[in-house]
Structure 1
Amino acid sequence: MEELTVVQKIAAYALPILFAITVHEAAHGYAAKYFGDLTAERMGRITLNPFKHIDPIGTILLPALSIMLGGVLFGWAKPVPVNFGQLRRPKQDMLWVALAGPASNFVMAIGWGLLLARVELFPESAQAYLSQMSVAGIQINLVLLVLNLFPLPPLDGGRIAVSLLPMKAAIKFAQIERYGMFILIALLFTGILGILLSPVLRFFQQLLAVIIM
């Protein structure tokens, strides 16, 4: 198969990135609606239209730069608004709303993995592009899955931790959210985040390999 150019590589990453972020955010909205909060629906955010979820810097600029420079793939989308107080059982249901996004990423990683395993069924001229797109889809979704499960508010893992902790501990832990992004960026640029997430990422990579074999 032919080597892809930088432009072709960026194009191969574009669709998986849009799907990964859009479905992740929509999944939060669908889960919130199921458990009683209609905030996202009223704001038109329960949709697979990527333009409703795109953040120009976090969804387009940073991922494109990281692909071109060969660095750690990093980015974000506009978070779907969830009013946890509107959930039928706010503390318990928060877990499922938070878990919906990462779960959707794992399902998409399986889909891209199945495509990669069957790429030889497509015309040879398309195999290099589809292979790169599938690898990108697996990489992006597993990274988003593992990153979002990191137990730090406002990440999904932080919400899950708040849901599982006893009430007093949950209230104190939730207060970290105001500093959460600064902590996350510091962990990212010091390399500590990669060290912490690598074992979890390898676990999901191995699990994915077992599923698609």
Structure 2
Amino acid sequence: MNDFIYNVAVWAIPVVLAITLHEAAHGYVARMFGDPTAHMMGRITLNPLKHIDPVGTLLVPGGIVLMNAITGASFPPFGWAKPVPVDFGRLRKPKADMLWVAAAGPASNFVQAIVWALLVGFLVRMQGSPDSFWFDLAQRGMLVNVGLMLINLVPVPPLDGGRIVVSLLPLRQALAWSRLEPYGFFILIGLLYFGILDYVLRYVAQPILSFLMFFTGL
């Protein structure tokens, strides 16, 4: 039981931070480009209670941690928060600015991954041994943020990657691609179920994690 509580703690803290800062970044950049919707609704905040989705923030990551504890697997938990409301029509250049608003979330996760990597390096130098709660927390912080960044960059709307593709495509193709949005969640589940996304994520994540090790100084 103590091991389970420990695992919940070292996963829950970076997951909640990763999701909260991800959503706040969307709202902040949207305000920079002319849409104050998230600001007016109080969603540009680091208060996780404003962003928690019962299923995506609690049930799904918690279920993954539980399954890891039961099966002995080490699959990084992932989840989602309540999407920050963005009225793309209020952006100064809606199609072009959509790219920056969408990219803000994954960018925030990449920055967080670097911060966690710096903490890993600091702890190793200070403690000389990686056997500590804070080291485990920092290590999982790297994994969670890289995983969340890559999942959100899958080029299927309404994921951030899908928004970026819509922003970059010519108008006709962009409209066609945006029509995938009602089916985006089911496409993502299918990619996960058949192991396609897992394979791609592992293939892409490894060089990113290797790059992050540079920031540890080890």
Which runs of no fewer than 5 residues in structure 2 stay unpaired? none
Residues 9 and 132 of structure 1 are in contact (CA less than 8 Å); yes or no, is this contact kept in structure 2? no
Residues 20 and 141 of structure 1 are in contact (CA less than 8 Å); yes or no, is this contact kept in structure 2? yes
> How well do the aligned residues superpose, as a CA RMSD in angstroms?
1.9
Residues 121 and 215 of structure 2 are in contact (CA less than 8 Å); yes or no, is this contact kept in structure 1? no
Give, in whole Å, the separation in 1 of the partners of 2:86 and 2:195.
Answer: 31
Alpha-carbon distance change, 115 to 211 in structure 1, aligned in 2, over 3 angstroms:
closer
Q: TM-score, normalized by length of structure 2?
A: 0.91
Counterpart of 2:89 in structure 1 is: 85
Give, in whole Å, the separation in 2 of the partners of 1:102 and 1:29.
Answer: 13
Counterpart of 1:212 in structure 2 is: 216
Q: 1:106 is matched with which residue: 92, 107, 110? A: 110
Give, in whole Å, the separation in 2 of the partners of 1:146 and 1:33.
Answer: 24
Q: 1:20 is matched with which residue: 18, 21, 44? A: 18
Counterpart of 2:160 in structure 1 is: 156
Give, in whole Å, the separation in 2 of the partners of 1:102 and 1:27.
Answer: 9
CA deviations over 1:158-213 (Å, ceiling 9, x no partner): 00000000110000000000100011011111111112222221231122123332
Q: TM-score, normalized by length of structure 1?
A: 0.93
Residues 119 and 127 of structure 1 are in contact (CA less than 8 Å); yes or no, is this contact kept in structure 2? no
Counterpart of 1:203 in structure 2 is: 207
CA deviations over 1:29-48 (Å, ceiling 9, x no partner): 00000000011011110101
Letter in 2 for 1:182: F
Counterpart of 2:192 in structure 1 is: 188
Structure 1's consecutive aligned runs of 4 or more residues displaced over 6 angstroms after TM superposition are 123-126
Identical-pair percentage: 50
Letter in 2 for 1:115: L
Counterpart of 1:53 in structure 2 is: 51
Residues 28 and 97 of structure 1 are in contact (CA less than 8 Å); yes or no, is this contact kept in structure 2? yes
Number of aligned residues: 210
Secondary structure (helix, strand or coil) at the match of 2:81 reads: coil
Give, in whole Å, the separation in 2 of the partners of 1:125 and 1:50.
Answer: 32
Residues 120 and 135 of structure 2 are in contact (CA less than 8 Å); yes or no, is this contact kept in structure 1? yes
Which runs of no fewer than 5 residues in structure 1 stay unpaired? none
